[in-house]
Amino acid sequence: MAKAFFFDTAFGRIGVCECDGKLTYVFFGNTVKPPVYAVERTPLLDLAAAQILEYIAGARKAFDLPLRPKGTPFERSCWEALQSIPYGQTRTYGQIARHIGNPKACRAVGRAIGRNPLSIIVPCHRVIGQNGSLTGYAGGIEMKKALLGLEGRA
């Protein structure tokens, strides 16, 4: 059974979830949530919460956690591409589509990014529109602005 732990941050309440020793979800707002879980603290969930809090405090730029996001092979390829976006930088949906070798898949990339179950850790907030606009974000545009602002990209 999946285990989840909730904690408060400067950006609001965040939940982290693990299954079999791997982080499977980071959720808040309208982000993707696990279908079933038991509320229980574990060493991995404590570590994930600590790393997210360090990130929000500006003391961490990368995460070092075992991850197991559930998705299709296409979705996972998009999420892997997101992890290659350096802290403080952004990419467009088109750039992500080209990165995964499917340059015409911008809309499919957008759908896959919208299904990212590991928000913040798999940095979907770093993806912007072709014209530089802040496009949709499951955590809300204000959260996206705040996360990009934290990274110096507001």
User: Active-site residue numbers?
Assistant: 124
* DSSP code per residue over the chain: --EEEEEEETTEEEEEEEETTEEEEEE-TTS---SS-EE---HHHHHHHHHHHHHHTTS-SS----B-----HHHHHHHHHHTTSPTT--EEHHHHHHHTT-TT-HHHHHHHHHT-SBTTTS-GGGEE-TTS-----TT-HHHHHHHHHHTT--
User: Tokens 């979907």 appear where?
Assistant: 124
Residue from 26, 24, 25 nearest 143 by CA: 26
